[in-house]
Structure 1
Amino acid sequence: MDNNAGSQDCLRTQDCTLSAPPHTHNLGLLRQGLMRTAQRRGTATAMATTVEDEVEAPEPGDGPRLGFVGAGMMATAMVNGIVASKVTEPDNVFVSAPHRSSLDRFAKLGVRTSDINLEVASGSDVVVVAVKPDVVPAVLREIAPHLRKDALVVSIAAGIPLAVLEQLAPGKRVVRVMPNTPCLVSEGATGFSMGSLATDEDRDTVHALMGAVGLAVEVKEALLDGLTGVSGSGPAYIYVLIEALADGGVRMGLPRAMAIRLAAQTVKGAAEMVLETGEHPAVLKDNVCSPGGLTIAAIESLEKNGFRSAAMQAVIAVASKSIEMRNAEEEKRTK
């Protein structure tokens, strides 16, 4: 009972190292962490490098400079959310990818783009490594010598542990982040873990960055695998649920478009009930189930067909795969 009470208190107060989705009145507060990062630059513009030819990035406007190496779906979601939340100006966001075709959607947002990763590395206060896990080692080896002295490296790659990231970017402050695609509409759910050199200021910066596009929670690195199973991959499970509910509606005669909208709004409304009331989901479920009624008959059908177990196993499957990837990377590091 105490555990449930603690969970409910966390939901009600949004404490427990959580950052709530932003609203207009607190966006200024969210910017402060990023602005402190920008202030570290001072007047220094020189970049330490180990190669003969320095890569010069074009100068953006004042404010925190956010770089994204990689232009996939997650980077797209984060950049869209950051621009929409006005955490920093679009021209302070810099995205790189090997193919220009991948950058077209970013250019439309007013952010700067390049097909040269080193330009992003040399011109950003916060560098988000947003490439696939198997590409992370090569990318970090490429950009590490060109990172600004005070740059913060943020990795959103699943399964690459902090120890490996810190080995690939020696002497740099690193944070692991696991966002999800609803960042695109400022409704993301993100977990992050601090590296050994990361500071309290870095914690504030990541809270500001990810809190601007949804909910952010700091966890121990060992918990990121489970968090990935719940929220990192979670939207996909919910899309399947929405599709299945809509299919049921179509089977019973509802137009497809109407069924999808009803199902999506139902999921959204139920989620808001959990977050706003602080009630345990079981309590809210019981409130809908009248004795001998329609909803309890539906719950019986869900239980008979393994709905609850299937959801739990999905989380476990993702977490197990993440652990497998992490162990493989750590094994490479020790060889």
Structure 2
Amino acid sequence: MSLSDEDLLLGDPYTGHFRSRFWYFTAALVDGTALTLSLFQWRYGPIGEAGLLVLSTEPGAETFALETKLEELEAAPDRLRYSFGESVLEGDREGARLRLRLPDFSCDLELRNLLNPWKPGDGFTRLNRRGDVYTRLSVTSPFAEVSGSMTIRGQWRPVLGWGYADRGVVSMPMSRINPEQSTFRVFGGQGEPWMLSVSESAAHRAYGSQRSATLLLARSGEWLMATSEHEFQAEEYRKEEGAPFPFPHRFRLRARQDGRTLEGVFTVSRLYYLNDILKRLPPAFRAIAEALIRRPVIYRLEGGFSGILEEADGSQVILQLGGQGEYQIMR
């Protein structure tokens, strides 16, 4: 479904639970770089915080990571626009524009939508009868051309590639946040550009472990699939050095819609970043904290999707797409 003005703003009233509101963007650039930006603002009763995460990684290279608190985040009341310091993020149904001025990182980027913004149904996944426990999703840029420039630690570089962006709200008790969530977004193709976005999660068992899933497949400006009726399986759980828990290294996918069938596997090539609030603690204290504190751990995964799309007439397209994925658990 298309997005209303309210779907862009996400001005939901506070329900009293833990709430996180976010804007997320990921891109695969033509030079092999994967770029991710996440702007978030959370509230839990009288306390709250806003922050920004910037990640840039190239195959085989060290990941650039910037995590910063935003002391003065201002949101426009009537449109999608955030500002902090000299930085501005704004968007509409045509795409988005980012001007960031941060320590060690700056960028001037434009997202030009190839597809109209989209949401699954009414955008809500409601988890209780009162409606105050829910998640909400607005895909502001399902598939966009990304252009501009960025500077990392004084090194300027042009930016050209393909991207995806969404906005969302999570409202639920802190102790009942979804225990596991997997996503990947990949881009590429010969000639015409392709995009595949897959997300999969299950709610806390207190809410019946309700499934929330989305698969989006597009070629240039054409939707090919938009469904939640697909098969998804995380496989090959292994623990790596520096990671507190095992995580999947393969995600198997099968979907069928409107006579088309998609089958393939997203394979992880490396863990390029780990979000864990305990990773800064000394090892001795970390072991104690892990036993006492339940927290989200997010694995940022570089990888690629290999698969086959079979059309209704029996013709086939081999897909080799690259990008990044995320695996999040509550432990």
Instruction: State the TM bucket, normalised to the shorter chain.
Output: under 0.3
TM-score (norm 1): 0.26
More strand by share: 2
Q: Which gives a bigger RCO, structure 1 or 2 (Cα 8 Å, sep 6+)?
A: 1
The structure in which a higher percent of residues are helix is 1
The structure with the larger Rg is: 1
Output the TM-score relative to the length of structure 2.
0.26
